[in-house]
C-alpha cells in the first residue's frame, strides 16, 4: 500500500509537467495585425503589398509548416484588420521574420499569439513555449561598446550650474571660511563623479542594460538576451530571429533624452551674432553660404551625429560663444504640416541642464485640437516638480527651451511659476514623433553612448541545421541508452527507462516555467543529464544484484540495494551540483546555459532515480507479484532469486 500511495506524487508531477509542455505541441492561433494606413493606400499599392506577402507565404511561411491563413488573399476586413494564422509550432522567431519582411503591411507591435487555456491558467496568458537561443534559430548578435569619454562630458554639463555656484562662493570675499570649506568639499565630491572607475563603469553598463531590455521588450522581439562584457566595457545583445538590423540598431543605440535649458537672457546678444551673419548672406542672395543651410545639408545627407557636433563646435568658435553657453539648432517644420522636421535656426542656451529626463515620468502622446498637432504630456517626479517650480519662479520672462536629444523642439516663454507636477511639450510633432518622444521620457535614455564594436548574423539555415542535429543527438542518445538498459538489466532496465523518460519530461517543464532559453550548450546539458541518470540506475541495480547474489530475499535485496546506493549517488551528484552552481554564478553565455540545465538535471535525476525508480520496483515486487528479477544481460546467463 505504501508504494502504491506514494506513486501518486510522481504521477501528479509528471501530469503537471505534461500540462506545462502542452502549448509546445498544441494548435495555436496568431493574430497578424495590418497597419491602419494600409487601408488608405491606392488599390494598386494594396494589391502589391498583399501579393508580396502571399508570395512569401507560399514560398517561406506556409510551405512546410502546414499552417492555414484567413483570409488567404487580399486584405482582411477593415473592421477586423488581422490575418488569422493557425497551426503548430508558431514560434516568436517566425512571427518576427514575417513582421520584418512585411513592414509595409504588418503592424508588428499589435501581433498576438493567442494563449492556450493552459497558459491562461498557469501564467496569466504569458507564453509557456520552449524558447530557442540564437544558435538554434538564427538572428543577430551585436556588441555595443560604451563611450565613457562622451559620458564624462555629459556629466560636466549636468553639474555645470552647481560647479559655477560653488566657485562663486570660493571667490566671494564676504563668505566665511566655513562656507568656503563646504564649497571645496562639495567640489571635491562632484569631481569624484568624473572619475570613472571599473566599478562605476559597470554600474552605468547595468543601467544601460536595463533600458535596452525595456526597449526590446516594448518592440515585441523574441527572447532578447542582453549581457555585459566587463573586459571590453561593452554590452552584448543576442536577438534570435531578427533580420532587420538597421531598425534594431537605431533602437539599441538611441541615446536621446529630454532636457530643459534656459535660453540666454534678453537682448540675446549671442544669438544676434549668428542672425546678423545669416542675414548678410541672405541679402547677397547666397543662401547656400548660411550656416543653417550647411547644417541642414549635414542632416539631409545623414552624415551622423559626430559631423553635426563638429559643425556646432566650429560655430561656437566662429561666434566666440562663452563656455557657459552652447549653440543648439531649433527644429521645426515648414509652412506645411507634412514638410520635414529640419533645423530652421540656431539658438544659444545655457550649458547647464535645468531639468533632466530623470525628473519626468508617465509620458503620454495626445492630439492638440487647438494647434492641430501632437503634443506629449507628462508627470514630474516629486523632486522634479520642486525643481520645476523653482526654475519657473526664478526665470520669469525668459525662454525655457525643451531639448530632445540635440534638437530644440519648443521654446516657450516663462510667464509665471508653474506648480502641480504636470507639464506638456508641444512642438511640430507628427504622431510617430510624439509617440517616440513619450517613449524616451517613459523608458529613460541610455546613460552612455554606445557604438557598434561587432555585429554578426546567423542565418536561419544554420539555425535549422543546429536544431535538427541537436534533436537527433538527443533522440539517438536517448534510444541507445534505453536499449542498452533493457538488454543489460531486462525488467530493471525497463523501469530505469521509464524513470529516464520522466526525468526528461520534468526537466523540460522546469526549464519552460523558468523562461529558460535553450541553446546548443543547453542541449549538451540535457544529454549529460541522461548519462548521469543512467549512471545512478546502474549503481542501484549493481547494489541490488550484490544483495541477490548473497542470498537475500528479493524484497529485502531491493530495499537494501536502494539504501546502500543512496549516499553514493547523493555524494556524486552533490559535488557536481556545487561545480554547476559555481559555473552559473561566475560564468555567462554558453557556460551559464550549460550549467543551468546541468544543475536542474541533477535535481530531477535525484528525484527520478532515488524516489520514482524505487517506487516502481517496490510496486512490481510487493504489489504486482514479480517473483524473479534477473539483473544480468541475456548473454551472461541467469542469476535470479525467488521472491520470499
The pLDDT-based confidence of 1 (bands split at 50, 70, 90) is: very low
Three-state SS sequence of 60-73 = HHCCCCCCEEECCC
The 10s digit of each residue's pLDDT in 195-251 is 778 888 888 888 788 777 766 765 545 556 788 888 788 888 887 766 555 566 666
- CA neighbor of 511 nearest in space, from 525, 500, 497, 501: 525
- Give 529-574 pLDDT, tens digit per residue: 888 888 888 898 888 888 888 888 888 888 888 888 898 899 988 9
Range of the domain at 347: 258-442
In DSSP terms, which residues pair with 380 in a beta bridge?
A: 360
- Same-domain check for residues 294 and 246: no
Q: What does DSSP assign to residue 623?
A: I
Q: Is the pTM of this model over 0.75?
A: no
* Pure H helices in 257-304: 269-283, 291-300
- Asked if 28 and 95 touch (Cβ cutoff 8 Å), the reply is no
CA angle 247–249–250, rounded 5-degree value:
65
On whether residue 108 sits in a domain, the answer given is: yes
C-alpha closest to that of 447 among 306, 214, 257, 194? 257
Taking residues 560-589, what's their average pLDDT? Answer: 87
Question: Is 518 in contact with 511 (CB distance < 8 Å)?
Answer: yes
**Are 36 and 111 in a shared domain?**
yes
- How many angstroms separate the CA atoms of 588 and 224, rounded? 15
Q: What is the mean pLDDT of the chain?
A: 80
In angstroms, the first-to-last Cα distance of the chain is 18
* DSSP letter string, 526-587: HHHHHHHHHHHHHHHHHHHHHHHHTT--HHHHHHHHHHHHHHHHHHHHHHHHHHHHHHHHH-
Tens-digit pLDDT profile for residues 281-304: 999 999 999 999 999 988 888 777
CB of 329 within 8 A of CB of 406? yes
Question: Is residue 601 over pLDDT 90?
Answer: yes
Radius of gyration of the chain (CA): 34
Q: Crossing angle, helix 554-586 and helix 590-607, to 10 degrees? A: 160
Higher-confidence position of 43 and 248: 43
Neighbours of 507 (CB within 10 A): 24
Q: How confident is the model at residue 506 (pLDDT cuts 50, 70, 90)?
A: very high
Same domain, 103 and 197: no
491 and 347 inside one domain: no
CB atoms within 10 A of CB 556: 12
pLDDT score of 64: 58
Q: What is the DSSP letter of 372?
A: T
Residues 548 and 489 in one domain: yes
In a domain, 530, yes or no: yes
Distance between CA atoms of residues 150 and 356, nearest Å: 17
Question: What is the rounded CA–CA span in Å between residue 126 and residue 585?
Answer: 27
**Of 470 and 226, more confident:** 226
Number of independent structural domains in the chain: 4
Contact (CB, 8 A) for 357 and 257: yes
Report the largest interatomic distance among the alpha carbons of the chain, rounded to a whole angstrom. 116
Same domain, yes or no, for 474 and 603? yes
- Exposure on the CB side of residue 16, measured as CA atoms within 13 A: 13
Neighbours of 1 (CB within 10 A): 7
Q: How far apart are CA 110 and CA 555, in angstroms?
A: 62
Contact 592, 584 (CB under 8 A): yes
Nearest CA to 404 out of 331, 311, 346 is that of: 331
| Interatomic CA distance for residues 578 and 331, integer angstroms | 59
pLDDT at 155 over 50: yes
Residue from 528, 527, 526, 525 nearest 595 by CA: 525
Please compute the mean of the pLDDT values over residues 351-366 and round it to a whole number: 78
Grid cell at residue 604:
530531477
Q: Name the residue among 385, 389, 435, 395 with its Cα closest to residue 415.
A: 395
Q: Is 242 a member of any domain?
A: yes
3-state secondary structure of 617: helix
C-alpha cell at 240: 534570435
* Residues 149, 93 share a domain: no
Quick one: which H or E segment has residue 391? Answer: helix 382-394
CATH number at residue 355: 3.30.1360.200
- Domain boundary at 253, 285, 306, which? 253
Q: Is the pLDDT of residue 346 over 70?
A: yes
Which whole number is the average pLDDT over 511-526? 82
User: Would residue 22 count as lying in a domain?
Assistant: no
Of 218, 233, 253, the last residue of a domain is 253
Lowest-pLDDT range of 14-18, 150-154, 260-264: 150-154
Lookup: cell for 66:
502546414
User: Do residues 321 and 336 touch, judged by C-beta distance below 8 A?
Assistant: no
What are the residues whose beta carbons fall under 8 Å from the beta carbon of 59, sequence distance 6 or more?
A: none
Q: Are residues 175 and 307 in the same domain?
A: no
- Please report, for residues 6, 152, 234, 521, 573, the alpha-carbon distance to residue 585 in angstroms, rounded to integers and kept in the order given: 36, 31, 20, 17, 18
- Render pLDDT for 368-393 as a digit per residue (tens, 0 to 9): 766 667 778 878 888 888 888 888 88
CATH label of the domain that carries residue 62:
3.30.70
Identify the top-confidence range among 418-422, 458-462, 510-514: 510-514
The CA distance from 263 to 265, in Å, is 6
Using the 3D structure, point to which of 386, 411, 442 is the last residue of a domain.
442
On whether residue 124 sits in a domain, the answer given is no
Of residues 554 and 635, the one with the higher pLDDT is: 554
One domain for residues 265 and 367: yes
Model confidence at 62: pLDDT above 80: no
Give the mean pLDDT of 324-342.
79
* C-alpha distances in Å from residue 116, one per residue of 113, 125, 127, 618: 9, 8, 9, 38
pLDDT digits (tens, 9 = 90+) for 171-194: 888 888 888 888 888 888 888 877
pLDDT tier at 427, thresholds 50, 70, 90: low
Concatenated DSSP letters for 12-65?
A: HHHHHHHHHHGGGTS-EEEEEEB-GGGGGS-HHHHHHHHHHHHHHIIIIISTTT
Domain-located, residue 126 = no
Across 339-360, average pLDDT: 83
Residues 98, 188: one domain? no
Burial 387-426 (b: 16+ CB within 10 A, else e): bbbebbeebeebbbbbbbbbbbbbbeebeeebeeeebebb
Q: What letter does residue 259 receive in the DSSP assignment?
A: E
Q: Are residues 93 and 151 in the same domain?
A: no
Domain presence at residue 4: no
Residues 249 and 263 in one domain: no
Amino acid at each position: 500500500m505504501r508504494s502504491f500511495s506514494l506513486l501518486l506524487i510522481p504521477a501528479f508531477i509528471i501530469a503537471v509537467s505534461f500540462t506545462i509542455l502542452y502549448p509546445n505541441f498544441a494548435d495555436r492561433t496568431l493574430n497578424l495585425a495590418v497597419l491602419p494606413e494600409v487601408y488608405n493606400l491606392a488599390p494598386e499599392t494594396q494589391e502589391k503589398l498583399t501579393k508580396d506577402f502571399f508570395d512569401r507565404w507560399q514560398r517561406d511561411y506556409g510551405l512546410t509548416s502546414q499552417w492555414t491563413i484567413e483570409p488567404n488573399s487580399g486584405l482582411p476586413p477593415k473592421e477586423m484588420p488581422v490575418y488569422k494564422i493557425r497551426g503548430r509550432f508558431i514560434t516568436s522567431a517566425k512571427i518576427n521574420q514575417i513582421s520584418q519582411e512585411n513592414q509595409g503591411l504588418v503592424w508588428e507591435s499589435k501581433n498576438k499569439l493567442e494563449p492556450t487555456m493552459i497558459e491562461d491558467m498557469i501564467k496569466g496568458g504569458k507564453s509557456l513555449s520552449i524558447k530557442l537561443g540564437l544558435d538554434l534559430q538564427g538572428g543577430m548578435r551585436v556588441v555595443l561598446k560604451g563611450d565613457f569619454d562622451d559620458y564624462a562630458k555629459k556629466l560636466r554639463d549636468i553639474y555645470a550650474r552647481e560647479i559655477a555656484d560653488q566657485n562663486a562662493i570660493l571667490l566671494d570675499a564676504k563668505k566665511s571660511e566655513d562656507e568656503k570649506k563646504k564649497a571645496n568639499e562639495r567640489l571635491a565630491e562632484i569631481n569624484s563623479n568624473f572619475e570613472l572607475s571599473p566599478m562605476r563603469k559597470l554600474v552605468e553598463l547595468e543601467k544601460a542594460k536595463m533600458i535596452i531590455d525595456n526597449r526590446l521588450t516594448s518592440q515585441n522581439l523574441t527572447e532578447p538576451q542582453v549581457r555585459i562584457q566587463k573586459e571590453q566595457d561593452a554590452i552584448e545583445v543576442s536577438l534570435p530571429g531578427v533580420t532587420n538590423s538597421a531598425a534594431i540598431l537605431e533602437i539599441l543605440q538611441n541615446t536621446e533624452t529630454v532636457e530643459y535649458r534656459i535660453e540666454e537672457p534678453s537682448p540675446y546678444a549671442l544669438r544676434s551674432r549668428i542672425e546678423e551673419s545669416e542675414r548678410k548672406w541672405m541679402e547677397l542672395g547666397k543662401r547656400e553660404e548660411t550656416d543653417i543651410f550647411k547644417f541642414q545639408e549635414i542632416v539631409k545627407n545623414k552624415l551622423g551625429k559626430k559631423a553635426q557636433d563638429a559643425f556646432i563646435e566650429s560655430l561656437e568658435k566662429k561666434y566666440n560663444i562663452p563656455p557657459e553657453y552652447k549653440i543648439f539648432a531649433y527644429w521645426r517644420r515648414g509652412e506645411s504640416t507634412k514638410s520635414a522636421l529640419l533645423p530652421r535656426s540656431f539658438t544659444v542656451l545655457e550649458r547647464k541642464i535645468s531639468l533632466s529626463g530623470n525628473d519626468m515620468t508617465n509620458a503620454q502622446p495626445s492630439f492638440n485640437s487647438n494647434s492641430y498637432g501632437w503634443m506629449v504630456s507628462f508627470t514630474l517626479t516629486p523632486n522634479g516638480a520642486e525643481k520645476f517650480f523653482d526654475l519657473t519662479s526664478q526665470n520669469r520672462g525668459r525662454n525655457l527651451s525643451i531639448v530632445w536629444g540635440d534638437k530644440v523642439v519648443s521654446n516657450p516663454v516663462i510667464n509665471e511659476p508653474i506648480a502641480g507636477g504636470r507639464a506638456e511639450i508641444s512642438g511640430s510633432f507628427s504622431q510617430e514623433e510624439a509617440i517616440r518622444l513619450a517613449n524616451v521620457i517613459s523608458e529613460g535614455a541610455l546613460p552612455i553612448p554606445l557604438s557598434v564594436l561587432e555585429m554578426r548574423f546567423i542565418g536561419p539555415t544554420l539555425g535549422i541545421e543546429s536544431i535538427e542535429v541537436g534533436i537527433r543527438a538527443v533522440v539517438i542518445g536517448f534510444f541507445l541508452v534505453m536499449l542498452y538498459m533493457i538488454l543489460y538489466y531486462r525488467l530493471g532496465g525497463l523501469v530505469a527507462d521509464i524513470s529516464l523518460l520522466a526525468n526528461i519530461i520534468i526537466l523540460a517543464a522546469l526549464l519552460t516555467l523558468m523562461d529558460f532559453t535553450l541553446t546548443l550548450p543547453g542541449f549538451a546539458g540535457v544529454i549529460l543529464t541522461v548519462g548521469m541518470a543512467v549512471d545512478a540506475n546502474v549503481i542501484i541495480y549493481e547494489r541490488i544484484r550484490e544483495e541477490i547474489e548473497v542470498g537475500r530475499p528479493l524484497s529485502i535485496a531491493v530495499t537494501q540495494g536502494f539504501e546502500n546506493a543512496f549516499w553514493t549517488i547523493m555524494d556524486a551528484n552533490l559535488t557536481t551540483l556545487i561545480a554547476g552552481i559555481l559555473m552559473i554564478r561566475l560564468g555567462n553565455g554558453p557556460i551559464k546555459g550549460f550549467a543551468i540545465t546541468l544543475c536542474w538535471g541533477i535535481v530531477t535525476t535525484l528525484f527520478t532515480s532515488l524516489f520514482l525508480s524505487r517506487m516502481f520496483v517496490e510496486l512490481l515486487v510487493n504489489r504486482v507479484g514479480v517473483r524473479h528479477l534477473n539483473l544480468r544481460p541475456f548473454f551472461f546467463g541467469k542469476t535470479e532469486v525467488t521472491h520470499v
